[in-house]
A and B are shown apart, each in its own frame.
Chain A
């Protein structure tokens, strides 16, 4: 990787050569890891998607058959619609509650530091730990949720939160919201703290009330952060895996399946690597194109 390789040595001064050599050598380590484990896998996945392939046995070229099969696969559509349900409910639950809590802890009323620690704890735990914890919270017999309902006289609402086909996905989304709302809280409180106090004082002199101040000053001031939070929530929801995987594994009978859990199970449980790669590529295309579209529009607005 010397600049000699390009046959341009005579055009570069010694100083430039030295510089380019440092640039190349310095970027190589980062590019090795980056290309090998993050970039090359995408075209490689595309290549695998053209084969019927059970991991160990020979690859059989099938062209775009897998691509067609995925589109006719009801489980894939179920997973995709669950991902979109997660997108919508995340936006409706995590962002508003995150904003409310963000406002609370940025007010710095007595004891706000303790509240902040408590509110932030869920986000610091691993997805696996939260998933396991919630599978006990949702347990039909000794779970916290059913016991709580019993205690407050709503025993009739008790359910098998993760075992019931129509409830499972909502229970999973509940746990996901519990874990990620604190992240948005912190994001918003950081933005709120940076609003200059003088603006509020001017509004107070003008006689603006609390709620008016919130809608006419606070919200417009943190609009970029809100947009940012929505983008993060959207892309995160499309990629969700850990909590659903540890709580239900996508079950019962694919009721809480997500694209990532379906991809994982197809590839690493059923060992259908070709078909799994195709699901992976669809996941990539959907997540990447939506991220690019959203980024494009949010950048253009600025």
Chain B
């Protein structure tokens, strides 16, 4: 082996330990008993694999948190994809003289810090009677992901040749038909990018749940995780089990769709 590639592997291994070992610690601790964790070395592997921890944690409310997170993430994604593709279609394919202005108004939203909006969002949600309702989380989720979604989608739709819809126009197709029959199918790569990006962002979001949801049966996963740690913090294996459970969907998604995820997670940034 060349000297340079030995150096390469040494450095890569060091960083693999830095980034990867906390996950090994998380998963291996999640399979220990609490007494075992307290008495034995933290580096040791579990004596017996206590998969029962997973059942205990799931039964303590995590089934519900999973369901809640899936529910609100799905609804947000469906609405978000519909309204952001429609808006991007209008901004990039229909000339109404204010196209650039409309795009700019949305892009400007990327610079608003989420925490500056929290008090008004809390008040608005109460006013609309949407506080402490799962569906009430969808509004802020959608709004917050709109700017970057429209930004990515309109960048992509801009590059579709104009001639494509012209003949459809001649045949008398309506704007809406062109949107559903031509532009949406052609935009599939960009749509899958924003789907992955928004899925990860919305799934991981915490602060809106923190201010808008109070009833335990409506907690989303991040909120449930945080409360669980507050309550069971002394039982480290339980907390690690909860962490592993909460991270599994994203880790699976990432391993299955590596290229797509990597592309999706950086798409907004690369074009900015």
User: Is residue A23 contacting chain B, with contact meaning CB distance below 8 A?
Assistant: yes
| A124/B175 contact (C-beta < 8 A), A19-B96, A26-B87, A284-B113 known | no
B265→A123 contact, CB < 8 A: yes
Contact mask A19-63 → B, CB, 8 Å, 1/0? 110110011011001101111111011001000000000000000
Chain A residues contacting B11 (CB-CB under 8 Å) are 100, 104
For A182, the closest partner residue in chain B by CB is: B19
The residue from B20, B119, B204, B265 contacting A121, defined by CB atoms under 8 A apart: B20
B266→A190 contact, CB < 8 A: yes
Q: Which of B51-59, B159-167, B246-254 contacts A (4 or more CB under 8 A)?
A: B246-254
Pair count A-B, CB < 8 A: 253
User: Is residue A221 contacting chain B, with contact meaning CB distance below 8 A?
Assistant: no
User: Is residue A195 contacting chain B, with contact meaning CB distance below 8 A?
Assistant: no
The residue from A27, A119, A232, A281 contacting B116, defined by CB atoms under 8 A apart: A281
User: Is residue B12 contacting chain A, with contact meaning CB distance below 8 A?
Assistant: yes
User: Count of chain A residues with Cβ under 8 Å from any Cβ of B?
Assistant: 89
For A291, the closest partner residue in chain B by CB is: B111
How far does the Cβ of A152 sit from chain B's closest Cβ, in whole Å? 12
Report whether over half of chain A's contact residues are helix, strand or loop; otherwise say mixed.
helix
Report whether over half of chain B's contact residues are helix, strand or loop; otherwise say mixed.
helix
User: Is residue B35 contacting chain A, with contact meaning CB distance below 8 A?
Assistant: no
Chain B residues contacting A277 (CB-CB under 8 Å) are 119-120
The residue from A22, A37, A38, A147 contacting B176, defined by CB atoms under 8 A apart: A22
For B145, the closest partner residue in chain A by CB is: A33
A239→B12 contact, CB < 8 A: no
B139→A33 contact, CB < 8 A: yes
Within 8 A of B (CB), among A92-108: 100-101, 104, 107
B19→A288 contact, CB < 8 A: no
| Complex CA distance for A118 and B14, rounded to whole angstroms | 11
How far does the Cβ of A240 sit from chain B's closest Cβ, in whole Å? 10
B118→A263 contact, CB < 8 A: yes
| Complex CA distance for A177 and B20, rounded to whole angstroms | 14
Within 8 A of B (CB), among A116-175: 116-129, 132-137, 142, 144, 147, 151
How far does the Cβ of A140 sit from chain B's closest Cβ, in whole Å? 13
The residue from A116, A187, A264 contacting B207, defined by CB atoms under 8 A apart: A264
User: Is residue B170 contacting chain A, with contact meaning CB distance below 8 A?
Assistant: no
| A128/B222 contact (C-beta < 8 A), A34-B106, A48-B119, A263-B118 known | yes
| Complex CA distance for A174 and B222, rounded to whole angstroms | 21
User: Is residue B225 contacting chain A, with contact meaning CB distance below 8 A?
Assistant: yes
B203→A126 contact, CB < 8 A: yes
Contact mask A168-207 → B, CB, 8 Å, 1/0? 0000000000100011001100110000000000000000
B115→A44 contact, CB < 8 A: no
| Complex CA distance for A163 and B261, rounded to whole angstroms | 37
**With A38-B117, A38-B146, A187-B266 already in contact, 4 other A-B pairs whose C-beta atoms are closer than 8 Å:** A104-B11, A117-B258, A287-B116, A292-B111
Closest A-B pairs by Cβ, 6 of them: A41-B120, A37-B143, A126-B204, A41-B117, A284-B116, A44-B120
Q: List 19 A-B contacts (CB under 8 A).
A: A19-B96, A22-B174, A22-B175, A34-B106, A38-B144, A48-B119, A104-B8, A117-B255, A120-B254, A132-B229, A135-B229, A136-B239, A147-B43, A186-B262, A260-B115, A264-B115, A273-B119, A280-B117, A283-B113
Q: Which residues of A contact B (CB under 8 A)?
A: 18-20, 22-23, 26-27, 29-30, 33-34, 36-42, 44-45, 48, 100-101, 104, 107, 109, 111, 113, 115-129, 132-137, 142, 144, 147, 151, 178, 182-183, 186-187, 190-191, 210, 225, 228-229, 231-232, 235, 238-239, 241-242, 246, 259-260, 263-264, 267-268, 273, 276-277, 280-281, 283-284, 287-288, 291-292
